[in-house]
Chain A
Amino acid sequence: MPIEKRSVTRFELLMDAGAGAQKAGDILLEAFVAMGKFIYVEPMIPAEISPAARTRYALSGIIIRLADFDINNIGNDTDLILASQEVVLGRRLDDHEFNARCQILLDAGDRDKSPATYDAVIERCAKEGLIVTTFDIDPASKQIIADMSGKGTNLYYLGMLSFIYNMDENTVKFEIEKNLGKKLDPEVMKINITLYLNGYQMAKTRDFLRYQVDASPRQYDKILIDGNTALSLGIIDAGFKLYSGYPITPASSVMHTLAKELPHYGGRTHQAEDEIAAIGTAIGAYFGGVPSITGTSGPGFSLKQEFIGFAQAAEIPIVVLNVQRGGPSTGMPTRTEQSDLLAAIYGTHGDATKIVISVSNIIDCFYAPHVARYLAEKLRLPVIIMSDFQTANSYKVISRPQVVQLDNIDNIPDFILERFHLKRLAAHIETVRPLQTIPGTPDGMRRVTGLNTDAQGQVSTSAQESQRSHRVRNNKVNHVRQSLDKPTVFGPATNDILVVGWGSTSGAIEEAVSLAQKQGLGVSGMSLQIIYPLPLMLKEMFSHYKKIVSVEIAYGDANKLPPLASLLRADTLVDIQPLIATATGRPIRPKDVLAKVKEVLK
């Protein structure tokens, strides 16, 4: 079978939870990177711990997008699926993320367990026009796997995929040894290598479609990292000394990383009794002058709102990380959504004065904590960092970001502020109470309260003092608004249509704009980093486009504006319509953006 050359392609390895699909994928992607290829990876994680094998809930796997150019999203459709059995395959087909010519390699080993189910899935693939090729693991390897109580199948599949993607046998073998060498004893290691080689050889004997992505190996200082790990390390680099959280998906992995790492850098991680306690403890520590952050996801974000309001009133800095997931309520903990935007901006009762920062990619994740800390301490207001499931869990290889070891916030480098389109704030920013000493400062004794106070900190219900407090707090937000530069624009500053997004949709928008431009379409894109307050020149920027549309992973329809469109309309009085406003839990695809743009341009 000839090898198809591709500039970009995507494939998936699907197995039962716990069978090692992600491990096999991680080894393969490191081999890709060693060969100079670009990758973007999304693990598929079940919502349960150990769902029974051969159930729809057991779907676990890895999606790898492979390209000869740098990519910032998980892309469009899948060109190849390797599935360990028909049940997880059937479940994944429901998401309709395969392209018309998708090649499906199905391990037929489970055929006899449920012939009816097996035949139904095969029939379904035929109906969808997919090419299904079944295969059997060779008998010798089957015996090895049986002897290892079912383990090692993932290494066999790794061998098959290595051949299909035209990887040198030894390059991948080297990565296996690098990845597993420390953990496995030499005998088990040998068996794993045998399974890998057997898979590779078996694939050679079959006429599977093969793919080749050309790229030359490049020497650069690179790291492999996911969004939540980048955020965790950014928290350390930004000088935070306390992380206070409560277990919740998909934010928990930040707490896991910091529980291990923070003590080595003079900080501590506190697992609180609940979400409210977690933010309360971070606020207490920050009152004591110790940079502190709390992290959570949707439901926990709702619980923290009263304390977020308290921090505004008491003028205690605090940084809150919200790794969004599907909502409302418990929603979909392991799927992505951007529906918490307005809760982040307007949440808490009473007038909300806070800053909301979003992360569009993994490097943003690393530097968002620096900017958040700078703004929180400078303004003595809450700063919210908005990530989401997709950004948190996706990983790729990036050029190593510069570590800055921030201690005093005034030393934050310009390049970090510029990344978030922010100019350095004025040296002095008025606070409701001029005295902002920390405990331990002699003659600086002061009390803070959630009650309204006068400038001396005395509790006050006076009309003038109430209005003044509101004005001073809102002026802090205005300082940021005045200091915001133009947000990131993909494509020309004047065009037929502008597609606006924030957070994890930015990568898909950027790619869609690039595709559209190649097709001669008048499409530009915009990604907002600091999403509240919005920059002052936004309305003027919008005036250079005939039409402005939003793309967001949040529900919208003819009668309901999604959050970003609502926010932008309120701010600019421009008739912004949602181009895509879906809450499927799946990332937005560049090709969907492109197709919708074409409809609008017609």
Chain B
Amino acid sequence: MTPQENIIPQNPSPVTVKDLNTENPRWCGGCGDFSILACLKRFIVERQLRPESVVNISGIGCSGRAPNYLNTYGIHSIHGRPITVALGLALTRPDLHLFIHSGDGDSMSIGGNHLMHGINRNFNCVFLMYDNEIYALTKNQTSPTTRKGHRTNTQPFGSYLSPLNPLTVALGLGSSFVASTADWIPDHLMSTLSAAFDHPGFSFVHICQRCVHFDIENFDTKTSSWFSFLKHPNGISPDKRLADKSECLDHDPTNLNDAFKYAAADRRYFGLFYVNRDKPRYDNILQNLVAGSPKKDRGKLLDPYSI
């Protein structure tokens, strides 16, 4: 086997949403995952990414099923580990576009170690954190982002701890790109995907995602008074549908202190919190090491051991 790079047909017909369909997703009706999937398909079409050069990689949970519903290449891996699998492709196949799909349990609990190192390695990918604040596919257990007091099957008297904040975690780990959006504001989600895709490095995208089955109260999708958009010429535009109705704050995404302030606030902010295009990329470092190492002749492999 050798990677068949750049074998894109001469005049490929344009990619359409229809080309990206596989089977009908098996999520619950009204699940926020449908919206994320639809936006990603629209994004691939908008950018005309060749489906054969896209790889969707996921862990376990409702979000883990996403790659199965996109007619690209895909790896539905094991619980908490999609970042490790994606890294293997990033280190060896820089020609591919990588999208990682990981839930709040997958990325903040069982896969926490990998999130920490994925962010630090800053390898090129779009990391989509589907945050529905619950373990859903395993049937209603407390996750690291479940709000305190919310009753679940494993913490039936109300979840004991204050939730982890994915945004301050990502910022604290030195993430080169931190954005937050929500599944029910598709225009903003699309703009966020676009900014994340164009960022060279590990683009951490937090997505508030509805779970209609186990927790219909955590996100009020009917009103917009409880959140604000962060805006900036170098940031992500506020959602077109809500721009007039919602608070829009100016925030320079290179200002880390303000990014922390908004991320840690009680109020929700959607937009680009932080970006640093200069953070070194581990995938580049290893590729440059290979490219820059003087070639040795495999035929003379054992010569240095000769006595």
Binding site for B on A (CB under 8 A): 30, 33-34, 221-225, 229, 233, 236-237, 241-242, 244, 261, 263-268, 270, 272-274, 276-292, 306-307, 310, 314, 377, 397, 400-401, 403, 405, 407, 409, 438-451, 458-459
Contacts and interface: CB of A to CB of B under 8 A. Distances in A.
B9 A442 contact: yes
Contacts of A285: 88-89, 91-93
Nearest to B80: A276
Given A400-B306, A403-B298, A284 B52 contact: no
B265 interface: no
A442 B8 CA distance: 7
A383 to B, nearest CB: 15
Contacts of A279: 84
B1 A446 contact: no
Contact of B81 (A242, A280, A440): A280
- Range for the number of chain B residues in contact with chain A: 35 or more
Contacts of A440: 3-7, 52-53, 93, 95-96
Interface in B19-47: 22-23, 26
Contacts of B8: 442
B3 A405 contact: no
B107 to A, nearest CB: 14
Indicate the member of A263, A440, A448 with the most B CB atoms within 10 Å: A440
Given A403-B299, A440-B93, A447-B68, A284 B75 contact: yes
Identify whether the interface residues of A are mostly helix, strand, loop, or mixed: mixed
B304 to A, nearest CB: 9
Interface string B170-181: 000000000000
Interface stretch (B148-156, B222-230, B287-295): B287-295
Given A30-B307, A268-B290, A284 B302 contact: no
B188 interface: no
A377 B117 contact: no
B72 A448 contact: no
A447 B286 contact: no
A278 B76 CA distance: 17
B67 interface: yes
B198 to A, nearest CB: 21
A447 B88 contact: no
A439 B91 contact: no
B78 interface: yes
Q: Which of A34, A270, A444 has the most CB of B within 10 A?
A: A270
Highest count of chain B CB atoms <10 Å: which of A265, A405, A442, A445: A445
Contacts of A233: 301-302, 305
B61 interface: no
Q: A237, A291, A292, A403: which has the most chain B beta carbons within 10 Å?
A: A403
Nearest to A30: B307
B264 interface: no
A407 B92 CA distance: 16
Nearest to A406: B298
Q: Which 10 A-B pairs have the closest CB atoms?
A: A284-B88, A280-B84, A285-B88, A447-B74, A284-B85, A449-B76, A263-B293, A223-B305, A264-B296, A281-B88
